[in-house]
């Protein structure tokens, strides 16, 4: 009989419970403490390259590089989307840097790179990219997910969706 598979919805047993919301693994395999480097935070109109973000966080101590790309999809709530536009508050770059720095201090990772694009984007283009390098996959995945959630929650960036019928809609706009 085979061993039962772990429940992926439960916290990994190596995550220290005393750090609520943190991604701090009990790791005795390291030769040195995690570097916790922030190699990039950017809010710009430049095209985002996932591979460049992954390369930027590459580190000899990292056994895992995890990335996330939020891309423009062709639909929303049953309506066909033809493009979107992101507009950022002037403080967005500083807010992004602060959010990333706060998350990185709570996590046992080597390096992160996070960018959010502004301006007009076509379906299929990356709007938000996160790359994380960690000694192990669990901490890299968990840190990437935490960064995505925290940035989406705190970054003052608003989205205007454009639909095939010529109408548009602002999303997450105060």
Q: Give the global pTM.
A: 0.84
Cα 144 to Cα 131: distance, rounded to the nearest angstrom: 7
pLDDT (tens digit per residue) in 19-53: 345 554 456 778 889 999 999 999 999 999 999 99
Is 129:56 a contact under the CB 8 Å cutoff?
no
Give one word for 78, left, alpha or beta, with left for phi > 0 and alpha for psi -120 to 50: left
**H or E element, residue 76:** strand 75-76
- pLDDT at residue 12, as a whole number: 38
**What does the domain layout of the chain look like in residue ranges?**
49-167
pLDDT at residue 160 greater than cutoff 90: yes
Cα 155 to Cα 134: distance, rounded to the nearest angstrom: 24
- Strand order through the sheet with 111-117: 37-44, 111-117, 126-134, 64-71
Name the residue among 65, 40, 51 with its Cα closest to residue 140: 65
Cα 145 to Cα 123: distance, rounded to the nearest angstrom: 23
pLDDT (tens digit per residue) in 65-109: 999 999 999 999 999 999 999 999 999 999 999 999 999 999 999
pLDDT band at 9 (very low <50, low <70, confident <90, very high): very low
pLDDT at residue 57 greater than cutoff 70: yes
Residue 19 is classified by DSSP as S
Phi, psi of 25 (to 5 degrees): -90, 150
Superfamily of domain 49-167: Molybdopterin biosynthesis MoaE subunit (3.90.1170.40)
Share of the chain above pLDDT 70, in %: 84
């Amino acid at each position: 009989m085979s061993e039962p598979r772990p429940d992926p919805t439960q916290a990994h047993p190596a995550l220290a419970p005393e750090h609520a919301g943190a991604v701090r693994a009990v790791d005795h395999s390291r030769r040195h403490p995690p570097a916790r480097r922030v190699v990039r935070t950017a809010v710009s109109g430049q095209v985002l390259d996932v591979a460049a973000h992954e390369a930027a966080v590459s580190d000899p101590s990292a056994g895992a590089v995890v990335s996330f790309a939020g891309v423009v999809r062709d639909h929303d709530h049953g309506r066909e989307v033809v493009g979107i536009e992101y507009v950022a508050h002037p403080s967005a770059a500083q807010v992004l840097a602060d959010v990333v720095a706060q998350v990185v201090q709570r996590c046992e990772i080597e390096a992160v790179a996070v960018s959010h694009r502004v301006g007009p984007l076509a379906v299929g283009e990356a709007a938000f990219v996160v790359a994380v390098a960690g000694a192990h996959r669990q901490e890299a995945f968990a840190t990437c997910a935490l960064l995505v959630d925290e940035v989406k929650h705190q970054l003052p960036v608003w989205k205007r969706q454009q639909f095939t019928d010529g109408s548009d809609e602002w999303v997450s706009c105060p």
